[in-house]
Chains A and B, each alone.
Chain A
Amino acid sequence: MTKFRHLIWMLVATGGLFLSASQGNAQTRQPDVGDQPGLIADDSVELDPQWRKTAVLYRTNEAPGTIIVVTAERHLYLVQGNGRALRYGIGVGREGFTWQGLVNITQKKEWPDWTPPPEMIQRQPYLPRFMAGGPGNPLGARAMYLGTTVYRIHGTNRPDTIGTAVSSGCFRLVNADVADLYERVPVGTKVIIRQKPEL
């Protein structure tokens, strides 16, 4: 009887292993999944005009230097004052991984290392536990930490995901853009994250 019970557990465990492995495979193969550790960014990818860095008209009461992330339209605005802003195309959190509020940039890092948070590992067990910074790192060339959250504004090794909603809540820019933004904003910068209204 005990033997039999063991056998059942073993079966369940093997089944589970298979399941997670196949899921992992399926997800890395799916073109719309944003995390692909190890892939070297193809920086020659030409973004659609709506995702390219552009100076735009933008009226706001927020002070110049403030970042406004408008997730519904996949744009990040850096307020310039005088009714204008620099607009960058971004990738945002997928359904269920959206959030909004007011935070500050608490830390800035070049070519950041990546330690996926435990909850992310739980969801995507195939992810590495740690990955050193560099061109194959999904965080890309720069990262700006948002408050005390696990979320960042960061680069990417998947420029093709700009304009989509695939992340776990972070905001990603192409490496050239994130480096440009990084030079323009100090630690302490106010970041406003806006979601589309709920029905």
Chain B
Amino acid sequence: MLRTFRGGLLIGLAVAIAVAAGAITYERYDTKTLKRTLKRGEVLCGVNKGLPGFSIPDDKGDWTGFDVDFCRAVAAAIFDDPKKTKFVPLDANERFKELQSRKVDILSRNSTWSMSREVNYDLYFPAVAYYDGEGFMLPASRKIDSALDLNDSKVCVQEGTTTLLNVADYFRANNMKYTEMKFPKLEDVVKAYNEGKCDTLTADVSQLYALRLNLSKPNDHTILPDVISKEPLAPVVRQRDDDWMMIVKWTLYAMINAEELGITSKNIDEALKSKKPDVMRLVGTEGAYGEDLGLTKDWAARIIRHVGNYGEIYDRNVGAESKLKIPRGLNSLWSNGGIQYAPPIR
């Protein structure tokens, strides 16, 4: 009698543990992002509250920017409509939590991909959207075009950032001396530089171009092509929802492949008539690659038509056609001086 009771208790306990474990797994791992997005009818996208070139709302609440366009591309792939997006502005310190708690489907918010973020937060960075890194700005009158000529410089830098450490590493590695001029606030760093208190200012390259716009004479300052650190900016999704991760990853790769193949938002109709196998596979006139993703055959054609290829998105938001005018640099295609490279669609 006692034995059966004990057995029953054991079974009951086992069931309880199994249920609890199930609940915990359910809590931790979400595998239904695409399903929920389809049901909701829009992609929820976590973005920066206001970073010129990357994500910024206008006075009517319309968002523009590189990170914003990436979310629009995902929406275009899923809904054939880039407007089926809702942008959720997030702070730097709340962004990963909000993604984990399913407040957003994607984080597209100038976030650096690093090992600890991916491992500790149970997140996944599917592919690098923008290769940023630390660089140097200096007066054009100095006629320097390499960071290796910066020996004996006074360097303006923000305190308490990795920027500071990178400078130290770079100068030591290249046997150069420098004087650190550090300030707690970025605006003070800029002010000191503008007042001529230092020879050069260091920050991430994308930031330097934005800061330069606000100087009294932007054209009198150059930004060196050297990039001395790795800041790979990538979209972020939750781990273990592979179907969703694949959509996000291949949306980016479709845009990069489109640029490499010469397909743009302007010639997409021509591309749909192409007889070149690699073009046909991308735009969906051969094979059913989009269906394997849970989307339609023309998923990539939708992205290119509504949002454009990688180069178009870059140029419009941060490149030659934008205010920032950041050269493509590392973000050029691998075949044209950069390292942007997408695996083939086949």
Residues of A in contact with B (beta carbons under 8 Å apart): 48-50, 54-60, 70, 72-73, 77, 84-85, 87, 194, 196-199
The SS class assigned to the A binding surface is mixed
Residues of A within 8 A of B337 (CB): 56-60, 77, 85
B11-19, B66-74, B325-333 - interface stretch: B325-333
Number of A-B contacts (CB under 8 A): 54
Question: Which residue of chain B has the shortest Cβ distance to A72 in the bound complex?
Answer: B262
| Assembly CA distance A54 to B276 (angstroms) | 36
Residues of A within 8 A of B339 (CB): 59
A77 to B332, CA, bound (A): 13
- B225 contacts A57, CB within 8 Å? yes
In chain B, positions 249-295 with a C-beta closer than 8 Å to chain A are 260-263, 267, 270-271, 274, 276, 279
Distance, CA A50 to CA B324, complexed state (A):
11
Residues of B within 8 A of A54 (CB): 225, 327
Complex: chain B residue closest to A50, CB-CB: B320
| Interface size of B as a range | 20 to 34
Q: How far is the CB of B94 from chain A (nearest CB, A)?
A: 34
Q: Does A196 contact B327, Cβ atoms closer than 8 Å?
A: no
Residues of B within 8 A of A72 (CB): 262
Write the nearest CB–CB distance from B134 to chain A, whole angstroms. Answer: 13
Cα(A193)–Cα(B225), bound, Å = 23
Which residues of B have CB within 8 Å of A59? 337-339
Compute how far the CA of A73 lies from the CA of B311 in the bound complex, rounded to whole angstroms.
10
B262 and A198 form a contact (CB under 8 A): yes
B145 at the interface (CB under 8 A from A): yes
B211 in contact (CB, < 8 A): no
Any A CB within 8 A of the CB of B336: yes
* Additional A-B contact list (5), CB under 8 Å, known A194-B336, A197-B261, A199-B271: A55-B146, A57-B227, A57-B329, A77-B337, A198-B262
